[in-house]
Amino acid sequence: MTAVQFVLERLRWWHIEQVLVIEADLFGVEQWTAAMFWNELANDHHYIAALARSSGEERAPASPAAATHVAPSGEERAPASPAAATHVAQGEVLGYGGLAVAPPEAWINNIAVRRDQQRTGIGRQLLAELLSYGRAKGATRTLLEVAADNGPAQLMYGRYGFEVIGVRRGYYQPSNTDALVMRRDERR
């Protein structure tokens, strides 16, 4: 199997139905609702989706660099790692992320990747694009919350320079899971 090629594009209202399927699978009763996503889009927060670039079975690229990911800016990037299922339809939502910016701060509202596409580089690409957008809009620090029991996400954020600055006890409901507040300061 090969990594599914994807393109990062602005999240649109017609993607919300697929986003809700991912939300339900990953977050269960703590998932965001359609109204919450509609509100984010209506308030012009920056939301992007990783969309499958081609459908059906694909042949493995000659080298990992042969398959590329295209950011909204048009910049192509090599995928992080080959792996994952390849049976997805073109345009299918593989992951998404959102950011609110009020300089000098930006706040990552969410990043989620479909369970069968995790550890393929999609989350890293979403995060990198959100950080780039925040910088371009004047953010000098970015904050986020992550579940205290979500080690893989914490590790990814740490690799991007995020550090834990606080804990919100019982933040996620109804599970009563703590949230770690993490911050990254831009190096200028």
Give, for 136, the enclosing helix (H) or strand (E).
helix 122-136
Residue in the block written with tokens 């994807």: 6
Q: What is the pTM of this model?
A: 0.80
Top-tier CATH class for 6-139: alpha beta
* Paired tokens of 24: 């339900």
* Paired tokens of 16: 């919300």
> How would you write the pLDDT of the chain (188 residues) with one tens digit per residue?
357 899 999 999 999 999 999 999 999 999 999 999 999 999 999 999 999 986 444 433 322 232 333 344 444 333 333 333 447 888 999 999 999 999 999 999 999 999 999 999 999 999 999 999 999 999 999 999 999 999 999 999 999 999 999 999 999 999 999 999 999 998 75
Q: How far apart are CA 53 and CA 88, in angstroms?
A: 9
Q: How far apart are CA 3 and CA 22, in angstroms?
A: 19
